[in-house]
Amino acid sequence: MDAFTLSDALLDDYLELSPVACTTLGVPGRDYLWDDLSPAGIEETRELAERYRSLLLDMGEPSNRWERLAWRVAKTLVEEWLEQFDHGDPFRDLNHIASPFQSIRNVLDIQDTSTWDHITTRIATLDEPLSGYRETLEEGRRRGTLASKRQVESVIQQARVLAGADSPLQRFAADLASSEQATPESVASMESAMAAAKQASAAFASYLESTYLPDAPSADGVGRERYVRATRVFLGMEIDPEETYRWGWAQVADLRRQMVETAQLIDSSESLDGVVYLLKTDPSRCAHSQEEFVEFMAERLNAAVNELDGTTFDIPEQVKKVDVKIAPPGGALGAYYMQPSEDFSRPGSVWWSTGSKQVFPLWDEVSTAYHEGFPGHHLQNGVALTLGDHLSRLHRLLIWYPGYGEGWALYTELLMNELGYLEKPEYVLGMLSAEMLRACRVAIDIGSHLDLTIPDDASFHPGERWTFELAVELLTSYAFLGEDYAKSEVTRYLGWPGQAISYKVGERAILELREEFLGRGGGLKEFHSRVLGSGAVGLDLLRDLVLE
């Protein structure tokens, strides 16, 4: 058995355990089932990882380049899983944005509506994954391994929204009723399913509030040991957190200077704060409906695909379509990307979670479209899916390193400015504010989890220790987020240690790698081909592959 065959077998066995992953990846046939989120289900996954680690070690590292990559990717994956099990991470996996509760809720958004009976069945049986998840959280509570109060309170609120009168589940009944598959029986079944799902979500919220929350720790930070372990998984490289913290603050200072200079190009009579207020409130710089916003972003992405194909990137035909959508209510605010199905029958899509917004300022969303869509995550994920001759199926479908993925997406924001796609100073200021947000994340994430003080030479509260309120203030005053968004962001960082720095740290590594590659005489398109052609890998391995 070669490395490709073994890694494919690992993927197949994993997908047998995770119908939700099947739906996310576009693997058909299991869209009516749920993962077993109970301790028994976790133990099955641990046993799977143990078995494949033994098989990979028995095989040994291959000499062929692409087989060696497949072997290294699979071995790293199962070792990371085992490390998480060893530290009890699945038993405290409850947070604001990226825990099993969100996976349960979000997978319904991408269900294939050609099989409404599958959707109805999944909604009707929502109690199954929530009950298993509750068992696992209870085991964590018994062990004293719990999520923090702030994270629990966030999920309680999200579960209440899912159970409420304005639940995102409501749209399924409306969509089914307007489809060709609608019958009185199918609509009645959906109504019954929604009622059961709302009841299950309400019961889960009540459990968290009455039983779990009283025992949850108040402290948000996770400490140095757990933080460094998390960053190694997210980045695929070791960092010195204190050095990275100092670098993050230097980035904050430099970006602040650039933002002030750019604001002067927009209105020299106003301060930076005044210019940002103008950009947020000037009707001529806003979209005035969700439909107008979606159309504006879709047109820009399509133009970029058409104009950059063959010059800056080699774009496979299957990757040239990207959808733009507004996310259902109830989730964390911001934009996110959903990758295509394996066969591209479901295109990649950029989703904006807009909350209560009715008017949509555009100044800071243009670079976000390039980040989440093309040439950011959409190109990155799409290219990988087409590389079946080089990358294992496991690698193409399942592997994701935020240091590589988010680093690339943030790099493409800078690249699109270099290529002239941020043609207005306000769009450049939006890109700089996005960079500032990611630099602030470095400061907030490391500082909060390691309980560091703000540097004495910083212009923002020098010498003070981080609090939730200070982190929100930095995001509102330096990155110009609205207060609700800033609170959502900080809650995210505190519940997902190490992930928030992956954007800026990944971008740093890719920019350094580009400089080295071009300095050796390589071309820009070739650099991009090598980065994208590696698939998602850790940043240390990416450097080896690009310079090989």
Query: For residues 523, 526, 532 and 533, what is the CA-based torsion angle, rounded to 10 degrees?
Result: -150
Beta bridge partners of residue 399, listed in sequence order: none
Closest C-alpha to 136, from 231, 198, 212, 196: 212
Q: How buried is 419 (Cβ within 10 angstroms: 0-12 exposed, 13-18 middle, 19+ buried)?
A: middle
How is the chain split into domains, by residue range? Answer: 3-218, 230-503
Q: What are phi and psi of 353, to 5 degrees?
A: -95, 105
Closest C-alpha to 97, from 106, 89, 88: 106
Long-range CB contact pairs, 515-518, < 8 A, 24+: 516/547, 517/546, 517/547
* pTM reported for the whole predicted model: 0.91
**pLDDT value at residue 447:** 98
Identify residue 437 by its one-letter amino acid code: L
Taking phi first (over 0 means left), then psi (-120 to 50 degrees means alpha), and beta for anything else, what does residue 176 get? alpha
Quote helix, strand, coil % in the chain, to nearest 5: 65, 5, 30
Q: How buried is 345 (Cβ within 10 angstroms: 0-12 exposed, 13-18 middle, 19+ buried)?
A: exposed
In angstroms and rounded to an integer, the radius of gyration of the C-alpha atoms of the chain is 23
Is the CB of residue 477 less than 8 Å from the CB of residue 458?
A: no
The Cα 158–Cα 96 span in angstroms is: 9
Q: Please give the chain's pLDDT, 548 residues, in tens.
A: 899 999 999 999 999 999 999 998 888 889 999 999 999 999 999 999 999 999 999 999 999 999 999 999 999 999 999 999 999 999 999 999 999 999 999 999 888 888 899 999 999 999 999 999 999 999 999 999 999 999 999 999 999 999 999 999 999 989 999 898 899 999 999 999 999 999 999 999 999 999 999 999 999 999 999 999 999 999 999 999 999 999 999 999 999 999 999 999 999 999 999 999 999 999 999 999 999 999 999 999 999 999 999 999 999 999 999 999 988 776 667 888 988 888 898 899 999 988 778 899 999 999 999 999 999 999 999 999 999 889 999 999 999 999 999 999 999 999 999 999 999 999 999 999 999 999 999 999 999 999 999 999 999 999 999 999 999 999 999 999 889 989 999 999 999 999 999 999 999 999 999 999 999 999 999 999 999 999 999 999 999 999 98
Instruction: Output the six-digit token pair for 49.
Output: 């990882």
User: How far from 377 is each of 19, 402, 539, CA to CA, in Å?
Assistant: 24, 11, 16
**Torsion sign across C-alpha atoms 357, 363, 369, 372:** negative
Q: Give alpha helix (H) positions in 375-420.
A: 377-385, 393-398, 402-418
| Helices and strands, counts by H and E, the chain | 24, 5
Is the CB of residue 120 less than 8 Å from the CB of residue 177?
A: no
Q: Looking at residue 108, what DSSP letter applies? A: G
Q: What is the DSSP string of 149-198?
A: HHHHHHHHHHHHHHHSTT-TTHHHHHHHHTSTT--HHHHHHHHHHHHHHH
The Cα 272–Cα 257 span in angstroms is: 10
User: How far from 165 is each of 2, 162, 330, CA to CA, in Å?
Assistant: 53, 8, 12
The Cα 372–Cα 367 span in angstroms is: 9
Is the CB of residue 290 less than 8 Å from the CB of residue 359?
A: no
Is the CB of residue 153 less than 8 Å from the CB of residue 217?
A: no
**pLDDT value at residue 267:** 96
Angle (CA) 122-123-127 rounded to 5° is 90
